[in-house]
Copies of this chain bind each other. A is one copy, B any other.
């Protein structure tokens, strides 16, 4: 195996200086000459018709330059997420919202917006807008929204009342036959909470409009190119006249800004169009909670049929997700839930049937894992129940049934690699799996338990969504490298990883000589953006190909210059070698080339394959049987990452995800009161795990190398929380013998279960 010089090394991150010095520019730091500030009036009702709206007084307030509402704003129907540019035919995108409408469908829905010379005046102006609402009945539960009592939140839903888009149906084998042939059948329904990304930086945008019809939008989007397409659609502009860019820093995403950042870009742009001045819109934290996408909660049913020897034989998975008032990724999330849920175990007879349902909650959309955590908490709970019934070790039952490379599965791309058995064995060793069942003495008030869960994920969104990448790699006249890619570095280290791929591929190991431009539709070729764990795998592959192209151009030129056959030449550490002989430095050659009218400009284009990352999570917990409090003692995450381009970055991704998964299991939830108001609409009300809650974490990287990714890498970002919740709930079961079919497993729920 070739020894890499840059790949696999945890080099200093390219954003380290600016991040640590606090000098990096984020969207909120953008100030343009003459810039106005935009603020949004949001609905206090979960469902209402606007009978009357009068903006006169607001308009008359000195310092106010524009007020928008449904009466004077664009009437193009759209989708805030990438759906409309990423829905693969023959599926049709769900277009169900305007910037402002005369019906509001959740508490927080946009009613009007103001642009003023400062934020204070903008806020004052909001208070002067007079709105008369006719309240309509509201519903907050995905099942209830389908009943005959519920109002239609959006009409014309052909798949069923309040069901956006279509129902996802996946099938393999013959389900009826499968269950008929099964010796044991388990069927359980699970309830999933609505949770929030709570990324560091709230949704924000600064829009600037030129008199020639072109627009520039600094934005917190994770996907600048698709965002530009959505804005072009909303404002009926040529895509070539819409520039969207990160400025360049972005404080997290976790899926919350695939496509638009809430409606920040759209509102800022329309206010800029109305006023002719730049407009900044920054969501405060409460707005971010109530008016930008959550993770889908809802209901998932698992029906698993097994043979007496533990071989899985039939699986029926059903889902009804709460997509809130508008469908951003409601169809896709239901799709990924099914596709991932069916792809962990080798089961000959399988069916998935799932959809999302409109309610009067905040819209749900993409969040790290994108449906997959919602699948694996139920599935991995049922697998543990089956193991118990069969009297089998839960680890062994999994090892017996997991997919192997080459197995037939429901996914339309092959499984070429799996490090899952190794993940399971290594993780089990690390958590001390063999002590399971031996941790407690009779009468212990604090009871310990160990649990596990496994899962897979994707390395990009193909073939569920449109997914492709282009990249440029230029070798400058001084032999230094510039990489251009349209993905975003949300803080995940993408910039650094892409630089490593380019550096290793060209053969320049001094990272001070590699620069990367990201996330600007003007400076980078089209790229679907940062989501679906794809930045390293797919954008990385485009960078790899572009770097290969640039390298080939250099070697071809060097062959001519050195009078040597190209196949004898190599670039190592910025020097061109013929065999073992250093012939000329890359800097000298590129300067010579420049002075002879030659630029090395590599182009990489990727229509990606996909590759399954695999993960096994293990948890050790303590349950206080007097209070119901659950404390996680240790988390072990063993991950097949293909190849860790930058191990510290990968470990950081996994550690962060584990904590997010722990919050999903134990504490995080957005609930609504009967007026449709979020009860947890701020960081102090929403129960994120904090530093104090973080247990010992052990990350184990398994690197089987997948042939489709750059240097064998697979997607990582989302895998880190897929089976965390079931690992923890299975550990709780191990500790106290109570099976929770609803998360988060709060202290209150445990207490009630213990003492009901």
A567 lies within 8 A of chain B by Cβ? no
A210 lies within 8 A of chain B by Cβ? yes
- In the assembled complex, 9 residue pairs joining A and B whose CB atoms fall closer than 8 Å, in A order, are A17-B210, A18-B210, A87-B595, A238-B513, A239-B476, A240-B474, A462-B597, A470-B599, A470-B601
CA distance A14 to B214 in the complex (A): 11
**Could you tell me if B468 and A85 are in contact, using CB atoms closer than 8 angstroms?**
no
A594 lies within 8 A of chain B by Cβ? yes
> From residue 1 to 47 of chain A, which have CB atoms closer than 8 A to chain B?
14-15, 17-18, 21, 23, 29, 31-33
Neighbour of A212 across the interface among B14, B211, B608, CB < 8 A: B14
CA distance A477 to B84 in the complex (A): 12
CA distance A39 to B513 in the complex (A): 33
CA distance A480 to B526 in the complex (A): 13
Task: Report the stretch among A53-61, A259-267, A412-420, A515-523 that lies at the interface.
Answer: A515-523
A603 lies within 8 A of chain B by Cβ? yes
Neighbour of A33 across the interface among B29, B238, B474, CB < 8 A: B29
**Could you tell me if B599 and A605 are in contact, using CB atoms closer than 8 angstroms?**
yes
Neighbour of A21 across the interface among B211, B523, B608, CB < 8 A: B211
**Could you tell me if A31 and B33 are in contact, using CB atoms closer than 8 angstroms?**
yes
CA distance A210 to B24 in the complex (A): 8
Neighbour of A515 across the interface among B85, B88, B238, B481, CB < 8 A: B238
* Given A85-B594, A525-B599, A605-B601, A515-B240 contact (CB < 8 Å): yes
Which 8 A-B residue pairings sit nearest by Cβ, starting from the closest?
A238-B480, A468-B597, A239-B476, A240-B480, A240-B482, A17-B212, A240-B515, A526-B599
CA distance A210 to B19 in the complex (A): 11
Q: Which residues of B contact A18 (CB under 8 A)?
A: 210-212
**Could you tell me if A478 and B599 are in contact, using CB atoms closer than 8 angstroms?**
no
Neighbour of A597 across the interface among B466, B477, B599, B601, CB < 8 A: B466
**Could you tell me if A477 and B210 are in contact, using CB atoms closer than 8 angstroms?**
no
Neighbour of A85 across the interface among B32, B477, B526, CB < 8 A: B477
Q: How far is the CB of A482 from chain B (nearest CB, A)?
A: 4
Q: Which residues of B contact A482 (CB under 8 A)?
A: 240
CA distance A470 to B601 in the complex (A): 9
Instruction: Name the residue of chain B whose CB is nearest to the CB of A463.
Output: B597
**Could you tell me if B212 and A597 are in contact, using CB atoms closer than 8 angstroms?**
no
A232 lies within 8 A of chain B by Cβ? yes
Max chain B Cβ within 10 angstroms of own Cβ: one of A33, A476, A522: A476
A598 lies within 8 A of chain B by Cβ? yes
Q: Which residues of B contact A211 (CB under 8 A)?
A: 17-18, 21, 23
A241 lies within 8 A of chain B by Cβ? yes
A467 lies within 8 A of chain B by Cβ? yes
Q: Which residues of B contact A523 (CB under 8 A)?
A: 520, 522-523
Number of this chain's copies in the complex: 2
Write out, one digit per residue, whether chain A residues 595-627 have a CB within 8 A of any chain B CB (1) or not (0): 111110101010110000000000000000000
Q: Which residues of B contact A23 (CB under 8 A)?
A: 210-211
Q: Which residues of B contact A525 (CB under 8 A)?
A: 472, 474, 599, 601
Q: Which residues of B contact A515 (CB under 8 A)?
A: 214, 238, 240-241
Instruction: Name the residue of chain B whose CB is nearest to the CB of A238.
Output: B480
A443 lies within 8 A of chain B by Cβ? no
State which size class the interface on A falls in.
Answer: 35 or more
Beyond A238-B476, A468-B597, A597-B608, 4 additional pairs, beta carbon < 8 A: A18-B211, A21-B211, A232-B478, A238-B513
A435 lies within 8 A of chain B by Cβ? no
Q: How far is the CB of A266 from chain B (nearest CB, A)?
A: 18
Q: Which residues of B contact A468 (CB under 8 A)?
A: 597-599
A512 lies within 8 A of chain B by Cβ? yes
CA distance A415 to B565 in the complex (A): 37
CA distance A478 to B513 in the complex (A): 37
Q: Which residues of B contact A472 (CB under 8 A)?
A: 525
Q: How far is the CB of A412 from chain B (nearest CB, A)?
A: 14
**Could you tell me if B597 and A467 are in contact, using CB atoms closer than 8 angstroms?**
yes
A339 lies within 8 A of chain B by Cβ? no
CA distance A462 to B238 in the complex (A): 37
Neighbour of A240 across the interface among B29, B514, B601, CB < 8 A: B514
Q: Which residues of B contact A87 (CB under 8 A)?
A: 595
> From residue 491 to 516 of chain A, which have CB atoms closer than 8 A to chain B?
512-515
CA distance A170 to B454 in the complex (A): 79
Instruction: Name the residue of chain B whose CB is nearest to the CB of A14.
Output: B212
**Could you tell me if B595 and A466 are in contact, using CB atoms closer than 8 angstroms?**
yes
CA distance A595 to B607 in the complex (A): 12
A219 lies within 8 A of chain B by Cβ? no
A89 lies within 8 A of chain B by Cβ? yes
A229 lies within 8 A of chain B by Cβ? yes
Q: How far is the CB of A495 from chain B (nearest CB, A)?
A: 11
Q: How far is the CB of A690 from chain B (nearest CB, A)?
A: 30
Instruction: Name the residue of chain B whose CB is nearest to the CB of A21.
Output: B211
Q: Which residues of B contact A89 (CB under 8 A)?
A: 592, 595-596
CA distance A18 to B21 in the complex (A): 38
Q: Which residues of B contact A466 (CB under 8 A)?
A: 594-597
* Given A595-B466, A601-B526, A229-B477 contact (CB < 8 Å): yes
Q: How far is the CB of A26 from chain B (nearest CB, A)?
A: 12
CA distance A85 to B597 in the complex (A): 11
Q: How far is the CB of A512 from chain B (nearest CB, A)?
A: 7
Q: How far is the CB of A541 from chain B (nearest CB, A)?
A: 13
Q: Which residues of B contact A238 (CB under 8 A)?
A: 476, 478, 480, 512-513, 515
Write out, one digit per residue, whether chain A residues 77-88 have a CB within 8 A of any chain B CB (1) or not (0): 000000001011
Instruction: Name the residue of chain B whose CB is nearest to the CB of A472.
Output: B525
Q: How far is the CB of A489 from chain B (nearest CB, A)?
A: 13
* Given A210-B23, A211-B17, A478-B239 contact (CB < 8 Å): yes
Instruction: Name the residue of chain B whose CB is nearest to the CB of A87.
Output: B595
CA distance A314 to B701 in the complex (A): 81
> From residue 471 to 488 of chain A, which have CB atoms closer than 8 A to chain B?
472, 474, 476-478, 480-482
